[in-house]
């Protein structure tokens, strides 16, 4: 009995086919919607492209403006940077000069030379003036710098104490290159 009722019910549902009344109308509506949505999609793509183009133009514009407006300050900065770069060259030249000075002092045989150091005294400097005036002028120039930058050392020298000079001391202790650069 139960089976029959259920079977009758499903049979009836199957036999009663729901009817789509306006087939042509549905087809027309679907195709119209497809066209409309596709147009909407195209419009969206056009809109997005326009927005992207505007953003790109703004980006390029602001970059160009920044480049132009900051050109002066950048050129100043570049010139400063170039100066900084040239300093090592000067230091290198200075090191060369210091080495030449020390070896010239050593070769002059006027001063005592111990452990790669020239022992400079006030009395022996007078002898140097007689033998090598050019070298004497260089040492005087150094002593002048010493007087300005290290007055106590210079006072000690004047008092008759010896000054030990090596390339390392001239560069690192007395910072001769800094006197020359600035």
Partner 1 sequence: MIKMQKKANDILLLKSIAGDKSAFGELIECYCDYLFSVVFRLVCNEQEAEDIVQETFIRAWQKLDGFDQSRARFSTWLYSIATRLAIDTLRKQQRRATLDLDVIQVETNDVHQQLTNKEIGELIRQATQKLSHQQKVVFVLRDVEQLNVYEVVEITGYSEKQIKDNLYLARKNIRERLMNVIGV
Q: Which residues bind partner 1 (CB under 8 A)?
A: 1-2, 5-6, 8-20, 23, 26-27, 29-31, 33-35, 37
Nearer to partner 1, 30 or 158 (CB): 30
Phi and psi at residue 123, in whole multiples of 5°?
Answer: -65, -45
> Least distance in Å: CB of 57 to partner 1?
33
Judged by beta carbon, residue 5 or residue 134, the one nearer partner 1 is: 5
Question: Is 165 in contact with 98 (CB distance < 8 Å)?
Answer: no
- CA–centroid distance for 181 within its chain: 24
Q: How far is the CB of 1 from partner 1 (least distance, A)?
A: 7
- Distance CA(62)–CA(72), nearest Å, equals 17
Q: In what order do the strands lie in the sheet with 117-120?
A: 112-114, 117-120, 163-165
- Asked whether the beta carbons of 174 and 154 are under 8 A apart, the reply is no
Q: Which is nearer to partner 1, 37 or 126 (CB)?
A: 37
Rounded CA-CA distance 90/181 in Å is 7
Q: Six-digit token pair at 70? A: 């900051």
**Dist CA 96 CA 92 (whole Å):** 6
Smallest gap from Cβ 4 to partner 1, in A, equals 10
Q: Which residue has the tokens 């953003």?
A: 55
Q: Judged by CB, which is closer to partner 1: 26, or 78?
A: 26
Question: In the complex with partner 1, which residue's Cβ is closer, 2 or 83?
Answer: 2
Give me the least distance between CB of 14 and partner 1, in Å please.
6
Question: CB of residue 29 vs partner 1: minimum separation in angstroms?
Answer: 6
């Amino acid at each position: 009995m139960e089976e029959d009722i259920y079977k009758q019910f499903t049979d009836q549902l199957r036999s009663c086919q729901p009817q789509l009344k306006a087939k042509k109308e549905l087809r027309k509506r679907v195709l119209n919607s497809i066209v409309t949505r596709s147009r909407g999609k195209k419009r969206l793509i056009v809109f997005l492209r326009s927005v992207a183009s505007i953003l790109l133009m703004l980006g390029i514009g602001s970059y160009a403006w920044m480049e132009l407006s900051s050109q002066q300050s950048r050129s100043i900065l570049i010139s400063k940077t170039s100066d900084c770069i040239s300093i090592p060259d000067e230091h290198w030249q200075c090191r060369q000069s210091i080495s030449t000075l020390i070896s010239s002092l050593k070769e002059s045989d006027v001063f005592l030379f111990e452990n790669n150091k020239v022992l400079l005294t006030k009395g022996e400097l007078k002898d140097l003036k007689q033998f090598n005036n050019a070298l004497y002028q260089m040492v005087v120039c150094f002593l002048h710098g010493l007087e300005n930058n290290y007055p106590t050392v210079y006072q000690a020298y004047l008092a008759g104490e010896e000054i030990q000079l090596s390339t390392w001391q001239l560069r690192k202790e007395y910072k001769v290159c800094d006197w020359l650069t600035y």
